[in-house]
Structure 1
Amino acid sequence: MPPRRAPAVPATEDDLVERMANSMNVMVAAVTAQTNAKTQRDLEKRER
């Protein structure tokens, strides 16, 4: 996904909050995916 360019109109408070929430959701998703991958690896190691 390409980064969003700054809007020509000055960003409203709501817009900034929404963008921050969006970024946080993306980070949470990334961390969750990494954690799940690590858990999976650890389980596979234990099975050996």
Structure 2
Amino acid sequence: MEQNLLTAISSVGFPIVVTLYLLTSFQRSMDRFTGELSQLVKELHEQRRAC
């Protein structure tokens, strides 16, 4: 893993590697947020039907 990281940095540059890491990390966070939001919408629809 460390060797791959060093190879990537030497190939494309440190700022690009950091940007790619942050983008993938952000995407995972957004996927989790989307799932939680979908669950919340489902629960709100269920509560609305119960009333």
State the TM-score, normalizing by the size of structure 2.
0.70
Q: Could you list the runs of 5+ residues in structure 1 that have no partner in the other structure?
A: none
Larger Rg, first or second structure (1 or 2):
2
User: Paired residue for 1:45?
Assistant: 47
User: Paired residue for 2:38?
Assistant: 36
Q: Tell me the number of residue pairs that the alignment of Structure 1 and Structure 2 aligns.
A: 43
Query: Percent identity of the aligned residues?
Result: 9
* Structure of greater relative contact order (alpha carbons < 8 Å, 6+ residues apart): 2
In the TM superposition, structure 1's runs of 4+ consecutive aligned residues that sit over 6 Å from their partners are none
1:6-48 per-position Cα deviation (integer Å, ceiling 9, x unaligned):
x232742211110100000011111111001000001001111
More helix by share: 2
